[in-house]
Amino acid sequence: MAEDIVVVGAGGHCRTLLSILRYYEQFSVVGIADREIETIDEEVSGYSVEYSWNDLCDLYEKGTRYAVIAIGNNTKRKELLAELSRIGFSVPTIVHPTAIIEQDAEIGQSNVVCMGAKIGTKVSIGRNCVVYTGSNIDHEVQVCDHVFIAPGCNIAGRVKIGEGSFVGIGSTIKEKIVVGSNAVIGAGSVVIRDVPDHEVVAGVPAKNVGR
């Protein structure tokens, strides 16, 4: 019997998660919970926005035990994971069937791995991360908690990406680079030097553009 699951967030990332959940026979989507009550009764990819975030406690008490977070913002996703866990929800890792993950890679809880992503040998991914469509993470990379890796990124071997950091679409990070916590790498950047905590870099090669 399929377990009920609620999708939290109704933006673009919601559509991606719903497309992955269609492959999971063990889950049945009961609806979408969005932050804004004004979106209730709208539809996203054939599923109704039936709840606000204020309804999550009631939803759990009525028997829904699973949730997935459809929020791209790392800070908000971290806060939501804490709140969902406090309520009692399980937040499973969701992996698209076309993603390739080496057997010795370590994938933590509450992650989303999207279509065509490749995760190499001895990669470690923490909790509540998103690895988006077509991104490649090579050998021995460490991705800490609450990281977002946008579509089409290429991350070479032995890179470390700190907690809460964002890697923009189409970016490349050369081998052995350390990206600090809460850093931002702009779209299409080529990172050839370490990135300190909270720094924003962009360009080819990537340079500091702010904090």
pTM of the predicted protein model:
0.95
Q: Do both 126 and 74 map to the same domain?
A: no
Distance CA 183, CA 168 (A): 11
pLDDT of residue 107: 97
pLDDT band at 89 (very low <50, low <70, confident <90, very high): very high
Domain boundary among 53, 71, 92: 92
SS3 category, 38: helix
Q: What is the pLDDT of residues 15-61, one digit of tens each?
A: 999 999 999 999 999 999 998 766 666 788 888 898 999 999 999 99
Q: Do both 139 and 155 map to the same domain?
A: yes
Q: Assess whether pLDDT exceeds 70 at residue 161.
A: yes
What is the span of the domain harbouring residue 68? 3-92
Please report whether residue 211 resides in a domain: no
Q: Do both 98 and 28 map to the same domain?
A: no
Q: Do both 196 and 98 map to the same domain?
A: yes
Dihedral (Cα; 42, 46, 50, 52), 10-degree rounding:
-70
**Which of 10-19, 97-106, 173-182 comes out lowest in average pLDDT?**
10-19
End-to-end CA distance of the chain: 49
Q: Do both 103 and 187 map to the same domain?
A: yes
